[in-house]
Amino acid sequence: MICGLAVAAETQAQTDQPADQDVAVEAPAMDLAAAQIHGNDAEDESDEDTPVEAPAAETPALRVALVGNTFIEREQQYGYWETWLAASQPQQRFVVRNLGWSGDNVQGESRAGFGKPRDGYDKLIEQVRSVRPDVVFVAYGTNASFEGERGLSAFRTALDQLLRDLKATGARLVLVSPPPFEDAGVPGVDTLARNADLALYSAAIREVADDWEAEHVDLFGGLASAMTPGGRRVTDNGMHLSAYGYWLASPLIDSPLTKTQPWRLSLTLEQGNLAVKQSSGTAVVSTAADLDQSQPVLSWSLRDAVLPVPTPPPGKPAAELPPAVSRVLQVQGLPQGEYELRIDRQVVATAPAEFWARGVALTTGPDHDQVEQIRAAVIKKNELFFHRWRPQNETYLFGFRKHEQGQNAREIPQFDPLVAEMEEVIFRLSQPQRRYYELRRLAN
B/e letters for 344-359, b = 16+ CB within 10 Å, e = fewer, are: beeebbbbebebbeee
Say if residue 275 is in the same domain as residue 418.
yes
Boundary-marking domain end, from 201, 230, 259: 259
Say if residue 242 is in the same domain as residue 266.
no
Tens digits of per-residue pLDDT, 372-401? 999 999 999 999 999 998 888 876 556 766
CATH assignment of the domain containing 101: 3.40.50.1110
Confidence class for position 5, pLDDT limits 50, 70, 90: very low
Measure the CA–CA gap between 49 and 51, rounded to whole angstroms.
Answer: 6
Instruction: Give the per-residue pLDDT at 113.
Output: 86
Say if residue 217 is in the same domain as residue 270.
no
Say if residue 91 is in the same domain as residue 153.
yes
User: Does 45 map to a domain?
Assistant: no
| pLDDT above 70 for 137 | yes
Instruction: Give the per-residue pLDDT at 146.
Output: 96
Q: How many domains does the chain have?
A: 2
| pLDDT above 80 for 160 | yes
* Residues facing residue 64 across a β-bridge: 96, 135
CA 347 to chain centre: 25
Say if residue 238 is in the same domain as residue 307.
no
Instruction: Give the per-residue pLDDT at 296.
Output: 86
Measure the CA–CA gap between 277 and 378, rounded to whole angstroms.
Answer: 37
Tens digits of per-residue pLDDT, 84-110? 999 999 999 999 999 999 999 999 999
Confidence class for position 327, pLDDT limits 50, 70, 90: very high
Of 43-57, 170-184, 243-257, 334-348, minimum mean pLDDT range: 43-57
Is residue 261 within 8 A of residue 253, CB to CB? The reply is no
Measure the CA–CA gap between 80 and 76, rounded to whole angstroms.
Answer: 8
User: Does 25 map to a domain?
Assistant: no
User: Does 47 map to a domain?
Assistant: no
Cα–Cα distance list, 318 to 76, 221, 248 (Å): 22, 20, 10
Tens digits of per-residue pLDDT, 208-249? 999 999 999 999 999 998 887 767 889 999 999 999 999 999
Instruction: Give the per-residue pLDDT at 406.
Output: 66
Q: Regarding predicted confidence, which is higher, 208 or 414? A: 208
Domain that holds residue 128: 55-259
User: Does 323 map to a domain?
Assistant: yes
Instruction: Give the per-residue pLDDT at 52.
Output: 44
Say if residue 242 is in the same domain as residue 293.
no
Give Cβ neighbours of residue 38 (< 8 Å, ≥ 6 apart).
Answer: 288, 290, 297, 299
Query: For the chain, what is the radius of gyration of the CA atoms?
Result: 25
Instruction: Give the per-residue pLDDT at 397.
Output: 57
Cα–Cα distance list, 149 to 165, 204, 399 (Å): 25, 11, 38
User: Does 163 map to a domain?
Assistant: yes
Say if residue 412 is in the same domain as residue 278.
yes
Is residue 281 within 8 A of residue 264, CB to CB? The reply is yes
Instruction: Give the per-residue pLDDT at 409.
Output: 67
Say if residue 250 is in the same domain as residue 284.
no
* 255 CB-contact burial (10 Å; exposed 0-12 / middle 13-18 / buried 19+): middle
Say if residue 409 is in the same domain as residue 291.
yes
| pLDDT above 60 for 408 | yes
Instruction: Give the per-residue pLDDT at 333.
Output: 94
In percent, the amount of the chain with pLDDT more than 90 equals: 68
Is residue 97 within 8 A of residue 133, CB to CB? The reply is yes
Instruction: Give the per-residue pLDDT at 319.
Output: 59
Say if residue 241 is in the same domain as residue 328.
no
User: Does 213 map to a domain?
Assistant: yes
| pLDDT above 80 for 203 | yes
User: Does 34 map to a domain?
Assistant: no
Give Cβ neighbours of residue 55 (< 8 Å, ≥ 6 apart).
Answer: 90, 91, 427, 431
Average pLDDT of the chain to the nearest whole number: 85
Instruction: Give the per-residue pLDDT at 4.
Output: 34
3-class state of residue 146 by DSSP: helix
Boundary-marking domain end, from 223, 238, 259: 259
Instruction: Give the per-residue pLDDT at 54.
Output: 54
CA 43 to chain centre: 37
Is residue 208 within 8 A of residue 160, CB to CB? The reply is yes
Instruction: Give the per-residue pLDDT at 167.
Output: 96
3-class state of residue 293 by DSSP: coil
- The reported pTM is 0.85
Tens digits of per-residue pLDDT, 16-49? 444 443 334 444 443 333 322 233 333 343 343 3
Tens digits of per-residue pLDDT, 340-371? 999 999 999 999 999 999 999 999 999 999 99
User: Does 19 map to a domain?
Assistant: no
Say if residue 188 is in the same domain as residue 305.
no
Instruction: Give the per-residue pLDDT at 44.
Output: 40
Measure the CA–CA gap between 1 and 3, rounded to whole angstroms.
Answer: 6
Cα–Cα distance list, 153 to 149, 159, 196 (Å): 8, 10, 16
In 194-325, beta strands by DSSP E: 215-217, 263-270, 273-280, 282-290, 297-304
Boundary-marking domain end, from 259, 278, 308: 259
Is residue 415 within 8 A of residue 385, CB to CB? The reply is yes
Say if residue 339 is in the same domain as residue 427.
yes
Of 24-38, 59-73, 132-146, 243-257, minimum mean pLDDT range: 24-38
Instruction: Give the per-residue pLDDT at 393.
Output: 81
